[in-house]
């Protein structure tokens, strides 16, 4: 996953995919900001819509590989909990939910740091 995102960030041939991934990240951050009700904004502002009609085959392959690696990560996390640690279905699902919620915790912590307070506690 990291390698694909790094490729998107550094390659000039995948501009549409890079813009799309950045916009998804910005939308997530703004969704959390809006949900908390604070008045913060990113230096780059709110994301504009991305048209996928200009996507090159390289863009499409990069996005497909990124989607597959995210799916594989979640799947292997669940199976790793079940097989390697003997977790039940519920515990493995809770593990996946906990790990996948870490971006939310990071953004909430960043908001608290930017405000110099913990508005949510």
Task: Find out whether 101 and 109 touch, Cβ atoms under 8 Å.
Answer: no
Task: Find out whether 44 and 87 touch, Cβ atoms under 8 Å.
Answer: no
pLDDT tens-digit map of 2-14: 999 999 999 988 9
Output the pTM of the full model: 0.84
With 90 as the cut, is the pLDDT of residue 105 above it?
yes
State how far the Cα of 91 lies from the Cα of 89, in Å rounded to an integer.
6
With 70 as the cut, is the pLDDT of residue 119 above it?
no
Kindly state the DSSP code that residue 120 receives in the 8-state scheme.
Answer: T
pLDDT tens-digit map of 9-57: 999 889 999 999 999 999 999 999 999 999 898 888 899 999 989 999 9
Task: Find out whether 16 and 55 touch, Cβ atoms under 8 Å.
Answer: yes
For residue 112, what are its two tokens? 């608290």
Kindly state the DSSP code that residue 81 receives in the 8-state scheme.
Answer: I
**Percent of the chain that is helix, strand, coil (3-state, to 5):** 75, 0, 25
State how far the Cα of 100 lies from the Cα of 18, in Å rounded to an integer.
22
pLDDT given for residue 115 in this prediction: 86
pLDDT tens-digit map of 55-85: 999 999 999 999 999 999 999 999 999 999 9
């Amino acid at each position: 996953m990291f390698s694909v995102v790094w490729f998107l960030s550094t390659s000039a041939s995948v501009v549409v995919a890079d813009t799309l991934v950045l916009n998804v990240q910005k939308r997530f951050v703004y969704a959390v900001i809006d949900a908390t009700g604070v008045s913060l904004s990113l230096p780059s502002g709110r994301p504009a819509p991305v048209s996928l009609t200009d996507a090159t085959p390289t863009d499409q392959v990069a996005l497909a590989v990124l989607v597959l690696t995210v799916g594989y990560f979640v799947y292997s996390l669940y199976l790793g909990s079940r097989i390697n640690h003997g977790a039940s279905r519920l515990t493995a699902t809770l593990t996946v939910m906990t790990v996948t919620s870490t971006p939310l915790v990071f953004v909430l912590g960043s908001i608290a740091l930017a405000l110099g307070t913990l508005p949510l506690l």
